[in-house]
Amino acid sequence: NTTNESAPPAVNKRLCASILLGDGFHNFADGFFIAAAFRSCSVGVAISIMLVTLFHEIAQELADFIVLTRFGGLTVRKALAFNFLSGLTVCLGGIVFLAANPSDTATGVILAMAGGVYINIAACETAPRMEAAMKGRGDRALMLFSIILGTIPLGLILLDHKHC
């Protein structure tokens, strides 16, 4: 038994800091988006924005955890703690937004930016990964069907849409 075998792996501080800072700013912006929706939209629209953000965050936080533990060298406990602290910035973003009491125009711009963020995620993150995994026409048909299926709830929400 050598000392190298029992020594914990070195922590990649730069990688961990970039992941956690980037995630913190990302969550802060999500807090802005959610607060803007609750301030200006119907409860149903606000809850749907919150749920979309939650579903997207589950995958994002899991990916951050994997990077922090596998490549960043953090222990599971430290990765969970730092990821949790980074996640709390969503609350800070919501508090800052509500305390700032922005105008309706500024709120509209923030909600438009939120929509753009989710379109960007779909176009730049999700679609290329799906494309790379496709092996034939059946996979492409399944992707098209999945996209259509995913837009149906959006269309149903818009049937009774009133501007925020």
pLDDT at 60 over 60: yes
pLDDT at 146 over 60: yes
Check residue 58 and give its pLDDT: 86
d(CA 69, CA 144): 35
Q: Residues of the chain with pLDDT > 70: what percent?
A: 85
Q: Give tens-digit pLDDT for 30-58.
A: 898 899 889 888 888 889 888 888 887 88
pTM higher than 0.85 for the full model?
no
pLDDT at 161 over 80: no
> Residue 73: what are its φ and ψ, rounded to 5°?
80, 10
Mean pLDDT of 134-140: 86
Closest-CA residue to 140 (of 131, 148, 149) = 131
Mean pLDDT of 126-142: 80
Check residue 31 and give its pLDDT: 93
pLDDT at 162 over 80: no
Q: Which residue has the higher pLDDT, 7 or 49?
A: 49
Q: Work out the pLDDT band at 63, boundaries 50, 70, 90.
A: confident
Q: Which residue has the higher pLDDT, 87 or 109?
A: 87
